[in-house]
C-alpha cells in the first residue's frame, strides 16, 4: 500500500527537506508527500517544499475560534489531499503547535514528531538550551509517535549527541540537527515498510 504523507511545519523546514530528499533519492519507497501545511505564512519550509514540487499551504490560527476548530481545518486539508486515517502518515517537522486530542485520536499512531533531546529529558521548547543549562554530558534527538501528552508518546528512534566543553546553544543545536536529519527519514522508512510495532510504551522494530 502506498502511504500518503502530510508534513506540518512552522519554520525553517530542514527536517521536512531531509525527508523529501530521502524520498526523491529512493531511500524511502511506497509513499508520496501530498501536502505540506505551515502554521506560519512566512515559513521558509513553504518555499523549500515547492522546490520539490510539493503542494505547500499556510493555515494560520488567527480567525479560528479555538484549537479544535483550527485542527479540524488542518485535518480537512490533509484528508482533501489524500492523507487519511487509513492510508496516511502525518509528520510534525518543527511544527510549533500542540495537537488537539481529537486530531491525535483520529490519526492514532499515524503521527510522528522529532524533538531535539533524548526524551523524556527536556520536553517542550528550547530543548537544547535546557540540556546545556542542566549540564548533561550527553543529549540528542528523538523521533516518537504523538499521543495526547506533550513530547511523551512512544519512542521510535533516538540518537545520542555528546555535549562539548565549549558548546553554545547554536553549536549544540547544529550537531543535534545533523542527527535529526538521519533518524527522521529512517523512522519514516520503518513505518512505511511496516516494521514498527507498538507494545504499550515500547515501539518494537521488526527485522
Ligand atoms: C528541530 O530542531 C526540531 O527538532 C525542533 O524544531 C527544529 C525545527 O527545525 N522541534 C521541536 O523543538 C519540537 N518540540 P526545522 O524546521 O529545520 O526542521
The full DSSP string for 108-124 is TT-EEEEESS-TTSS-S
User: pTM score > 0.85 for this model?
Assistant: yes
Same domain, 78 and 172: no
Instruction: Tell me which of 79, 108, 137 is where a domain ends.
Output: 108
What is the CA(207)–ligand 1 centre distance, in A? 29
Establish whether 126 is a catalytic residue: no
Residues of the chain with pLDDT under 70: none
Instruction: Tell me which of 52, 80, 108 is where a domain ends.
Output: 108
Longest dimension (CA), the chain: 49
Determine the pLDDT at residue 1.
Answer: 86
Same domain, 10 and 91: yes
Instruction: Tell me which of 47, 79, 108 is where a domain ends.
Output: 108
Residues 37 and 54: their CA atoms lie apart, in Å, by: 10
Determine the pLDDT at residue 118.
Answer: 98
Query: Is 72 within 8 Å of 102 (Cβ atoms)?
Result: yes
Determine the pLDDT at residue 112.
Answer: 98
- CB of 181 within 6 A of ligand 1: the answer is no
Q: Cα 19 from chain centroid?
A: 10
Buried b (16+ CB within 10 A) or exposed e, 2-13: ebbbbbbbbbeb
Same domain, 175 and 90: no
Determine the pLDDT at residue 4.
Answer: 98
Same domain, 68 and 135: no
Nearest residue CA, atom 10 of ligand 1? 94
Determine the pLDDT at residue 128.
Answer: 98
Same domain, 46 and 65: yes
Question: Tell me, what CATH number does 4's domain have?
Answer: 3.40.50.170
Same domain, 147 and 51: no
For residue 96, which atom of ligand 1 is closest to its CA?
13
Determine the pLDDT at residue 150.
Answer: 87
For residue 173, which atom of ligand 1 is closest to its CA?
2
Same domain, 104 and 118: no
What is the CA(161)–ligand 1 centre distance, in A? 16
Same domain, 131 and 156: yes
Structural domain for 164, as ranges: 113-207
For residue 116, which atom of ligand 1 is closest to its CA?
4
Same domain, 18 and 90: yes
Domain count, the chain: 2
Residues 173 and 117: their CA atoms lie apart, in Å, by: 10
- CB of 94 within 6 A of ligand 1: the answer is yes
What is the CA(93)–ligand 1 centre distance, in A? 6
Nearest residue CA, atom 5 of ligand 1? 94
Same domain, 193 and 148: yes
With the most atoms of ligand 1 within 8 angstroms of its CB, the residue from 19, 39, 115, 174 to mutate is 115
Determine the pLDDT at residue 99.
Answer: 96
Same domain, 22 and 89: yes
CA-CA-CA-CA dihedral for 128, 133, 137, 139, to nearest 10: -20
- CB of 117 within 6 A of ligand 1: the answer is no
Q: Cα 194 from chain centroid?
A: 18
C-alpha cell at 98: 500542540
Same domain, 19 and 53: yes
Determine the pLDDT at residue 153.
Answer: 97
Out of 81, 115, 144, 181, pick the active-site residue.
Answer: 115
Amino acid at each position: 500500500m502506498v502511504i500518503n504523507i502530510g508534513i506540518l511545519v512552522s519554520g525553517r523546514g530542514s527536517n521536512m527537506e531531509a525527508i523529501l530528499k530521502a524520498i526523491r533519492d529512493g531511500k524511502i519507497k511506497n509513499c508520496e508527500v501530498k501536502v505540506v501545511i505551515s502554521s506560519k505564512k512566512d515559513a521558509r519550509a513553504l518555499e523549500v517544499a515547492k522546490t520539490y514540487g510539493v503542494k505547500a499551504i499556510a493555515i494560520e490560527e488567527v480567525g479560528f475560534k479555538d484549537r479544535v476548530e483550527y485542527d479540524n481545518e488542518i485535518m480537512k486539508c490533509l484528508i482533501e489531499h489524500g492523507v487519511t486515517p487509513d492510508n496516511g502518515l502525518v509528520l510534525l517537522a518543527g511544527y510549533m503547535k500542540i495537537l488537539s486530542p481529537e486530531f491525535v485520536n483520529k490519526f492514532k499512531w499515524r503521527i510522528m514528531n522529532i524533538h531535539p533531546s533524548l526524551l523524556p529529558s527536556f520536553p517542550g521548547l528550547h530543548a537544547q538550551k535546557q540540556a546545556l543549562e542542566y549540564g548533561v554530558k550527553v543529549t540528542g534527538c528523538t523521533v516518537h509517535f504523538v499521543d495526547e501528552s506533550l513530547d511523551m508518546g512512544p519512542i521510535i528512534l533516538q540518537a545520542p549527541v555528546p555535549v562539548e566543553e565549549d558548546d553554545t546553544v547554536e553549536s549544540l543545536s547544529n550537531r543535534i540537527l545533523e542527527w535529526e536529519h538521519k533518524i527522521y527519514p529512517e523512522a519514516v522508512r520503518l513505518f512505511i515498510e511496516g516494521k514498527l510495532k507498538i507494545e504499550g510504551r515500547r515501539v518494537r522494530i521488526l527485522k
